Amino acid sequence: MQSRAIQQYGTGHFYLFCQAESLEIYSRFLDDGLPLESGLADSQLLKDWIKTVYKFNDDKQQIVDALSFTFLSQRIVDNPSYYGFTSHDRAENLSYIVDQCVGYLHAQSKAS
């Protein structure tokens, strides 16, 4: 919201209400613009979720569609190199992530 007010009107006011001991941390975070990246692609949580969903429906496209609403899908378009991609195509990159997870789950089930 901070940058949105400035973009629309050329000027803006941003009020940060927090405890005094947290002010420095929040101010540094907002002033420096630290990049945030999603850890979902490498998480066990994603593998467990895909395992549950894929067991009932083996349509990978539905999984890709569900992931398109995540923070990860935004970041792989804005900063694909962080995730090891060269393409800025959201669907292509999400499909690759889903394929990797499903492949991992298949290999894990064969090992068991």
Element (H, E) at 7: helix 2-9
Mark whether 61 and 77 lie in a shared domain. Answer: yes
pLDDT along the chain (112 residues), means of 10: 54 76 81 77 90 78 90 91 93 94 86 76
Mark whether 28 and 78 lie in a shared domain. Answer: no
Mark whether 54 and 99 lie in a shared domain. Answer: yes
Tally of structural domains, the chain = 2
CATH of the domain at 59: 1.10.10.10
Secondary structure percentages of the chain, helix, strand, coil, to 5: 70, 0, 30
Mark whether 47 and 68 lie in a shared domain. Answer: yes
- The residue range of the domain holding 19 is 2-32
Mark whether 24 and 49 lie in a shared domain. Answer: no
